[in-house]
Amino acid sequence: MILGKSAAAGELSTAPPSPNQRQEKVRWNPAWAKFRPIEYATTSVLVAADVVIALAVKDPRAKWDGGIPSDDWFHDRLRAKTVEGRILAQQVSDHLLQVNFVVGLTEAPVAAAAHGQWDTAFQLSMLNAQAFALAGFIQLGSARLVGRVRPRATECEQTGSTEFPCNHGGPTLSFLSGHAMSSFVSAGLMCAHHGRLPLWGGGWADASACAAMIVSATTAGVLRVTADKHYTSDVMLGSLLGFAIGYGMPMLLHYGNHNEVPAKTAKWFVPLAPVPYVGAERGGVTWSALF
């Protein structure tokens, strides 16, 4: 009986780790897929595309003016009534964006490095860069393709007003909200990383990291409406897409994928990666499979 138990224990110890398993220590689970060559390539292309769009592509002409019915309801209740209030909301949202972006990009890698897990820190850095690169491509591309007029842009043009926000920001770059989208990418990344690794020791501490970033991202998004810079639909869709990218990409491409492909699944397992698509009239992201 003792020998039988020992053999059984030996068999269990050699069983492959589950990719869905939360790690008890800060270390990369061998079952998680590491950053693949095709992902280095696509992330580099996306970063280059982001820079080109931001610096070389001109603001679009007005193609969509006005909000959907729900926009008007939220706009009337959230928009600051004074110029000073709108300026303050703009300034606070800008600072929150900066904090959210820096924390979302660096917090998990720094925490992993503090535990002495340098390979894990590198993997987390690449996952973060990949998510922000894709989100940036979608947000920058949509703003220049859709050409949605900001809430007060038409009124500013008609009245000749120079008060805020008439004197600030591109008037046709309302869709999607970059502040909301970037902030929720950070929230998604922190929830994904802290949900799989005890970067802050596990339990409520890691849960609080996810919750705190969601609160900060939500605040930044609401303030964009308060500042009269975006419609609520710009913020809500940007927030949903941002969180989906920040949380979904690490979970689908890495935390839920095997690093070493078992022989019995090698026939159907293919690594996937996002690839930007730019056509004559539209842009977006397609998925590429490596066989």
Q: What pLDDT, in 10s, does the model give residues 166-225?
A: 666 678 888 999 999 999 999 999 999 999 999 999 899 999 999 999 999 999 999 999
| Residue 160 confidence (pLDDT) | 67
256-279 pLDDT per residue, tens: 866 544 434 333 334 444 444 444
DSSP β-bridge partners for residue 278: 283
> 144 and 60 in contact (C-beta within 8 Å)?
yes
| Residue 158 confidence (pLDDT) | 66
- The single-letter code of the amino acid at 277 is Y
111 alpha-carbon distance from chain centroid: 19
* Global confidence as pTM: 0.80
What are the structural domain ranges in the chain? 29-53+70-258
Direct distance between the N- and C-terminal alpha carbons of the chain, in angstroms, rounded to an integer: 47
Percentage helix, strand, coil for the chain under 3-state DSSP, each rounded to 5: 60, 5, 35
| Residue 171 confidence (pLDDT) | 83
Question: DSSP class of residue 251?
Answer: I
- Calpha distance 283→156 (Å, rounded): 30
67 alpha-carbon distance from chain centroid: 25
| Residue 246 confidence (pLDDT) | 98
For the domain made up of 29-53+70-258, give the CATH fold.
Vanadium-containing Chloroperoxidase; domain 1 (1.20.144)
> 70 and 233 in contact (C-beta within 8 Å)?
yes
Question: DSSP class of residue 264?
Answer: G
The candidate with the shortest Cα–Cα distance to 187, out of 206, 166, 211, 167, is 211
| Residue 167 confidence (pLDDT) | 64
CA distances from 22 to 74, 119, 140 (A): 40, 18, 35
| Residues making up the chain, counted from first to last | 291
> 150 and 63 in contact (C-beta within 8 Å)?
no
Enumerate residue ranges in the chain where pLDDT < 70.
1-21, 154, 157-160, 162-169, 257-291
- Calpha distance 112→126 (Å, rounded): 13
Neighbours of 198 (CB within 10 A): 19
- Calpha distance 244→123 (Å, rounded): 19
